[in-house]
Every structure is written in C-alpha cells, then in structure tokens.
Amino acid sequence: MKKPFLLLFILVLTFACKNENNATPIENTSPKIKFEKPEFAIVIHGGAGTILRTNMTPENEAAYKAKLEEAIRVGYNILKEGGSSLDAVEKTITIMEDSPLFNAGKGAVFTNAETNELDASIMDGKTLNAGASAGTTTVRNPIHLARTIMDKSEHVMLSGKGAETFAAEQGLELVDPSYFYSENRFKSLQRAKDREKVELDHDDQTAFYDPTIKDSKFGTVGCVALDKNGNLAAGTSTGGMTNKRYGRIGDAPIIGSGTYANNATCAVSSTGWGEYFIRAQVAHDISALMAYKGLSLQEAARIVIHEKVAKLGGDGGIIAVDKDGKMVMEFNTAGMYRATMNDQGELEIGIYEK
C-alpha cells in the first residue's frame, strides 16, 4: 500500500517543479512593470478645455466616444496592415474633420466676422518634412491640404487664397464656405460677442464666466502614430478660437508649436490656447527635452504643459508617442477628448481629467 503513495508523491513533485521552471517571471507578465515595445501605436485628441461632466448629457458623451473610436480604428487598421504613420494620421484626422462634434473641418468655430477659417499641419518624423495651411475657407479637409503641401510643393506653409489656389490645382475637394456653418458654433460666437460687450462695459469678467463659451474656444483634433517601420508622424487640424479676428492664426499649423515629429524622439500634437502654445513652442520643446536632456517623453510633456505653459498663463494639452511606442496624454484643463490604441488592439478612451 505504501508504494503507490510514494509513486504518486514523486509524480506530483515532478509536475510542480516542471511548472515552476516553465513559469514566466512576474516582471514579464505585467506591461506596467516591464514595458514591451509595441510594433505600432496611435493616439488621438479631440480638443482640451473646460469639459465638465456636469455640462455633458449621456447622449453627447456617447456620441463623442463613438466618433473617437471610429476615427482611431481607421488609423489602427492602416498601421496594422503595415501602412505608414503619415497615412494613419491623415485618414484618422479626416474622420474627425468630417464630424460636426469637433472644432475642425465641418465643425469649425466662427471668427468675429462670422466666417470659418481653418488651420492644419502634418509632419513626417523620418524626413522632418512638413506641410501646413492657414486661414482657408473652402478646403473641405485641411489635413489633406497640409499633406499635399508637404508632398507636392517646395514649401512648408501656405495661407489663405494662395493655399486655396494650390488646393484647386491639386484637385482637392473644395466646398462652399456655408458647408462649415453649424448652429451651435454660430450661437457660441454670439455668446462670445455678448460676453465681450458685457466685459467691456462692466469690467467684471468672473461674473460672466460661462464654461460653455470657454469650451467653444477649443475642440481642435490631432493624431500621432508610430508605424511598423519605426516611423513617427503627427498632425493637427482646427477652426481656431471662436471670435478670432484679423486673420489670427493659432498654434495648430505652426510646426514646433501645434505639431512636431522626429523619429529620434517623438511625435506631438497640441490643443489649447494657441497664443501660449506658440510662445512656449510646445511640441518641439517636448522633443528637444528628450533629445538634449535625455528626459523621457512623460517627463518632458509634464514640464512643458504643467510648468512652462501653465506659468505663462496658458491652458491646454498634448498627445504624444515616442520612438518606442510609449503613449502620453498630458493636459492642464478640466478635460481632453482622447483615445489610444496599441498593437494588441487595446482601446482606451478618456474625456475628463479623472
């Protein structure tokens, strides 16, 4: 009777030892403990600003989330199939430009003169080539124009009528300016004008603070991506800020402020109060802190957004991905529409700070 028991004991012991030898060390099982470089990665934003739960209906929230998911999946599929980060960025941004939810393309905000003037830019991290357009009123998808300027012209940035002539010559889709009209955005302009009048009359800004007006200043879209060939790209598109005047141009089409990509460091797209993002050179500064100071993307983004921009008095945020596929989203506003996807197809969507 003792022999079978002894045999059983030896068998159990052998299995236990075998399993222990085959077990993966704990540090390899959790991506949080040991970062595995993904084959590709993509991050998008739909603008930062005073986005508060209290101002959002469940239907609205669902609509934003659905559109963010639709857009990022377009870029994800391109990257998964081995496509370029530039194509992923351009196509993903097009989806958001065609939606009235965001302040870019179809949903662009109104200028003081009741027009819609759109800005966009794109940058290739491999060649450091870039394209940007500013102040266009008839180009349906400014991100296509930015890409075409990069690929088909000897310039980096074109503006206004000249940019539109180039778009026409290149066969890009042009629309009547009324295509960009939306009632919500028009009402936001009227509210901004009313508030401006009240502020000038009474010099009491806080009493007339309205989060929905502050929201309407933001809503730019952007995308950054790393492809299977290790190439980074970044793009940004916007209608700018409600009630802007005199041909004002923000950070979105400025390479180094709104958009920057460099295969040696990272790809960045900004959203926020453009004047401050231009002065702080946000996107290039993040890359420079990595290149010259050896900081991680996360550290660099934190310093630029929470120290540099915040000290100047500006607000907004960035999305970024580094050459190893680490994805970062940093903002100093109440919220930022955002989403990430890695090569495992894991999707994360966020709106509010927490």
Active site residues: 220
Residue type, 267: A
In whole angstroms, how close is the CB of 228 to ligand ASP at the nearest point? 30
Contacts (CB under 6 A) with ligand ASP, residues 190-219: 218-219
Asked if 94 and 71 count as a contact pair (C-beta separation under 8 A), the reply is no
Nearest Cα residue to 233 out of 254, 263, 253: 263
250 touches ligand ASP by CB under 6 A: yes
Contacts (CB under 6 A) with ligand ASP, residues 255-294: 271-274, 277
- How many helices (H) and strands (E) would you count in the chain? 12, 12
Contacts (CB under 6 A) with ligand ASP, residues 133-162: none
Which of 50, 84, 99, 103 forms a contact with ligand ASP (CB under 6 A)?
Answer: 103
Largest CA distance in the chain: 101
47 touches ligand ASP by CB under 6 A: yes
Q: Based on CB atoms, which residue is closest to ligand ASP, 180 or 273?
A: 273
In whole angstroms, how close is the CB of 191 to ligand ASP at the nearest point? 17
Find residue 235's DSSP bridge partners: 122, 223
DSSP string covering 156-190: SEEEHHHHHHHHHHTT--B--GGGG--HHHHHHHH
Stretch touching ligand ASP by CB under 6 A, among 6-14, 245-253, 290-298, 324-332: 245-253
CA 83 to chain centre: 19
Give the total of residues touching ligand ASP (CB under 6 A). 16
Q: Based on CB atoms, which residue is closest to ligand ASP, 252 or 341?
A: 252
Q: Based on CB atoms, which residue is closest to ligand ASP, 87 or 215?
A: 215
Stretch touching ligand ASP by CB under 6 A, among 71-79, 204-212, 235-243, 305-313: 235-243
Which of 134, 223, 252, 297 forms a contact with ligand ASP (CB under 6 A)?
Answer: 252
Which of 240, 256, 325, 335 forms a contact with ligand ASP (CB under 6 A)?
Answer: 240
Is residue 196 classed exposed, middle or buried when 0-12, 13-18 and 19+ CB atoms within 10 A define those classes? middle
> How many whole angstroms separate alpha carbon 230 and alpha carbon 86?
12
Q: What is the DSSP letter of 107?
A: G
> How many whole angstroms separate alpha carbon 349 and alpha carbon 91?
19
Stretch touching ligand ASP by CB under 6 A, among 25-33, 126-134, 238-246, 345-353: 238-246
In whole angstroms, how close is the CB of 322 to ligand ASP at the nearest point? 22
Q: Based on CB atoms, which residue is closest to ligand ASP, 38 or 240?
A: 240
Stretch touching ligand ASP by CB under 6 A, among 31-39, 120-128, 205-213, 233-241: 233-241
233 touches ligand ASP by CB under 6 A: no
In 10 A of CB 59, how many CB atoms? 7
**Sign of the four-CA dihedral 134, 140, 142, 145:** negative
Asked if 290 and 300 count as a contact pair (C-beta separation under 8 A), the reply is yes
> How many whole angstroms separate alpha carbon 270 and alpha carbon 316?
8
Q: What is the DSSP letter of 49?
A: E
105 touches ligand ASP by CB under 6 A: no
Stretch touching ligand ASP by CB under 6 A, among 236-244, 279-287, 293-301, 342-350: 236-244
332 touches ligand ASP by CB under 6 A: no
- Residue 157's alpha-carbon distances to 119, 134, 136, 163, 336, in angstroms, are 10, 8, 12, 9, 27
In whole angstroms, how close is the CB of 103 to ligand ASP at the nearest point? 5
> How many whole angstroms separate alpha carbon 292 and alpha carbon 299?
13
Which of 116, 141, 216, 220 forms a contact with ligand ASP (CB under 6 A)?
Answer: 220
Contact footprint for ligand ASP (CB under 6 A): 47, 103, 218-220, 238, 240-241, 250-252, 271-274, 277
